[in-house]
Each structure stands twice: as C-alpha cells, then as structure tokens.
C-alpha cells in the first residue's frame, strides 16, 4: 500500500512517522498543527546492537511530526483505533491511503513492521514526553510574559537564600538546555552541572506553596468584614507573585526531566521506558500537590465573597471589594491551572450591589408588611363575623322574649 505512515500515542501527544511527503499530506488532511519530532537525535543514539541498529536505519528515510493531544487530535486516536503496544503506556497503528481512495485507512502489518521494534517505540515515546514538557515550558514562558511578571525580579525581591539558589539553578539549567540543543545529546559533563538542581527547585516550590497556604489561613481566621477585606486584598496582590514562582519551578522541573531523559537515552537506553514512566508519575504528583494548595486558596476566597455578599448593606464599600479580590485571585489561579494542564472549572462570584441588597430587604419588608395587613384584615373580618353572629343570636333571644311577653299580655287581656 502506498502512503503508509505510523501513528504512536503516549496519552499526551501523537507522533506521525513516515516519509516526509506522506506525513505532511496526512496532517494537512486532518487539519492539525505539528512540530518536528526530532528523530535525528534518536538515529545517532540507536547505533549499537543488531535490533537497535535496525531501528536506527528505519529512521534514515523517514521523518516524524508531533501533535499535542487536544480534543481534536484525540479524535484521531479513536478514529484509527490505536492499539496498546508492548511498550508501557504507548499505543500505535499503521494507516495508509490506497490508490485513488481519499480517506486514510488503518492497515495491518506483519512482524516486519517498524511497530514490531520495541527500541523504536521506546525511543519515540521518550522524545514525545520531552516534546510535551517543552511545550508546557514554552507556554509557561508566554504566561509569565502575559501577566507581566518578571520572575527574576520577584525572586530577587526575596531575601531568603532559597531564592538566590533558585536563580543560580535557573541559569545553569538554561545553559545545559542550550548545550543539548547544539550537540543533540546530554553527556556526562553537562549532566553533572544540573544533577543537584532538583533539590533546590523542590525547596523553592515548597516555600511558595507554604506562602499560598498562609494566605488561605489568614482568610480563615478573619471574622469582621474589614479584616476579611484586608486579607483578600493581600491575597490578590501576593497570590499572583507566588503563582509566578510556582510556574517557574514547574518550568525548571520539566527542563530537568528533558535533560534527564536524554542522559538515560545516551547512557542506558534499555532503562528509558521505566525512567519515562517514573518521571510522568512524579510530574503528576507535583501537579496534584499544586492543585490542592491553589484550590484551597480559591475556596477560601469564594467563602469570603459569599460572606461579603450577605453583609453588603452594612458594608457597601468593603463587601464588593472582597468579591472583586476573590474574582481576581480565582481568575489568576484558573489561568495558572490552564498553563500547567490542571483541568478545573470555577465560576466567578457576582458582587451584590448595595441597591440590590436594599431592594431585596425592602421587598421582604413589604412582603412581611403585606402579610401582616392581610392577617389584620382577616382577623378583623373574622371578629366582625363572630360579633355579627353573636349579635344575631342575642337579637333573636330578645325578639323571642318580646313575643312571649306579648302573648302573655294578650292572654291576660282576654281573661279580663
């Protein structure tokens, strides 16, 4: 079959491998943006051993493109029915376009298929993880630029020695990434420069998380609306800075993982699968930790906004300010989550205007007053009816007595 290409997915991205022309045609037909998979580095690495050498030669006439998995690209995985491979966490399929048929179709391949070579799948999966992390790193860079936060300025403003080490680590990691880009690999010398960096990054991350927790705790402890407004304003001004620090930490941690995968691929390629899965698990754990901390702050801000909305009549200026701060902090956190790939949703709180609150109170008062008037009218009518009934019965008795007396008088007159 002509126009054969290979699809490989690791859950975060989709690799399209084949002849450059066929790969381009496939991506155009599906309308998907992509970037170079970077198989060149894998070719030079897969050079030892018969099976590995065979995998390396497979790359000679092929190229690859990487597509980030989105709702649209994820449909391809379902559309072409990618199947699980022997490489953990990796699924694959072969597709082609026979003759004049316009649609790409899944095809079955025998033992000679590139898919049967575990070294190729393992190496491709490692590169895909790196590309996904580099994509996140680029998005974080854009995020920090959009929020107009100069992360180095934020870090330098802190007097803690942890931040000084963090800045230095950032410089070293960026240097190592530059060397990797130029050389196409991470040798022992380059790796020795950054191998102790994760401890410093983790220490800085923990510090930033504690600061966000402290902002949440302040909101929990405040009782008066004035104190809540002050704590909410502090969370608004400081929260964004600590989110920027966390974003920078996550960016550097991904950079270390990219370098680490290259180092394992260069030194111990047979261990690449286990290392790749371990890095993904550790990354997910970091995401969950960050999500819990930031969501706690967002929840406290929402509670503060809810409390403020109930007190807007007594505090027409401070209550809306609390809601505004809550919305700013929550919007910042949701944006931050989006850059790190944390999927969460949150609706902003709506500040109750003083006039709306006053109108609600007035309406309730009017409703209560109307109910009282209705009750009074009902009571009056019931009393009148009871009085009327009593009066009627009393008048009847008088009339009866009068009739009896008249009858007695007439009888006496007749006797006389």
pTM for this entry: 0.74
Q: Are 117 and 31 in contact (CB under 8 A)?
A: no
Give the model confidence (pLDDT) of 38-50 as tens digits.
876 665 555 544 3
| Among 338, 336, 320, 318, residue whose Cα is nearest residue 239 | 336
Instruction: Answer whether residue 345 shows pLDDT above 60.
Output: no
Dihedral of alpha carbons 311, 312, 313, 317, sign: positive
Strand (E) or helix (H) holding 243: helix 225-267
Give how far the C-alpha of residue 233 lies from the chain's centroid of Cα atoms, to the nearest Å: 23
When pLDDT is cut at 50, 70 and 90, the band that residue 204 belongs to is very high
Q: Rounded distance, CA 389 to CA 394, Å?
A: 9
Dihedral of alpha carbons 281, 287, 293, 298, sign: negative
Give the model confidence (pLDDT) of 246-269 as tens digits.
999 999 999 999 999 999 988 888
Instruction: Answer whether residue 60 shows pLDDT above 80.
Output: no
Q: What is the pLDDT of residue 252?
A: 96
């Amino acid at each position: 079959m002509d126009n054969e290409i290979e699809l490989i997915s690791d859950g975060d991205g989709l690799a399209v491998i084949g002849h450059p022309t066929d790969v381009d045609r496939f991506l155009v037909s599906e309308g998907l943006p992509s970037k170079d998979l970077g198989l060149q580095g894998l070719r030079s690495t897969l050079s030892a051993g018969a099976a590995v050498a065979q995998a390396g030669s497979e790359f000679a006439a092929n190229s690859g493109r990487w597509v980030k998995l989105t709702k649209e690209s994820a449909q391809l995985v379902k559309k072409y029915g990618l199947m699980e491979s022997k490489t953990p966490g990796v699924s694959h399929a072969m597709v082609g376009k026979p003759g004049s048929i316009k649609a790409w179709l899944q095809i079955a391949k025998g033992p000679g298929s590139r898919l049967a070579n575990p070294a190729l799948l393992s190496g491709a999966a490692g590169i895909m993880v790196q590309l996904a992390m580099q994509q996140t790193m680029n998005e974080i860079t854009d995020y920090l630029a959009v929020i107009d936060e100069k992360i180095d300025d934020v870090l330098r403003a802190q007097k803690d020695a942890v931040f000084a080490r963090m800045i230095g680590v950032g410089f070293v990691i960026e240097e190592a990434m530059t060397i990797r880009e130029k050389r196409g690999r991470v040798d022992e010398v380059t790796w020795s420069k950054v191998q102790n960096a994760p401890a410093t990054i983790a220490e800085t991350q923990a510090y930033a998380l504690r600061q966000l927790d402290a902002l949440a705790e302040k909101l929990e402890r405040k009782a008066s609306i004035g104190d809540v407004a002050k704590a909410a304003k502090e969370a608004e001004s400081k929260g964004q800075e600590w989110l920027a620090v966390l974003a920078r930490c996550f960016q550097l941690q991904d950079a270390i993982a990219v370098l680490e995968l290259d180092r394992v691929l260069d030194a111990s390629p047979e261990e690449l699968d286990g290392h790749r899965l371990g890095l993904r698990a550790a990354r997910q754990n970091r995401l969950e930790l960050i999500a819990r901390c930031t969501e706690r702050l967002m929840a406290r801000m929402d509670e503060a906004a809810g409390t403020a909305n109930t007190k807007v009549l007594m505090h027409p200026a401070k209550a809306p300010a609390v809601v505004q701060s809550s919305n700013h902090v929550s919007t910042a956190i949701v944006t931050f989550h989006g850059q790190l790939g944390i999927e969460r949703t949150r609706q902003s709180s709506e500040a109750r205007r003083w006039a709306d609150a006053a109108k609600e109170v007035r309406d309730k008062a009017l409703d209560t007053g109307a109910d009282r008037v209705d009750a009074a009218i009902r009571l009056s009518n019931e009393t009148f009816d009871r009085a009327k009934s009593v009066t009627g019965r009393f008048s009847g008795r008088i009339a009866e007595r009068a009739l009896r007396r008249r009858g007695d008088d007439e009888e006496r007159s007749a006797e006389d």
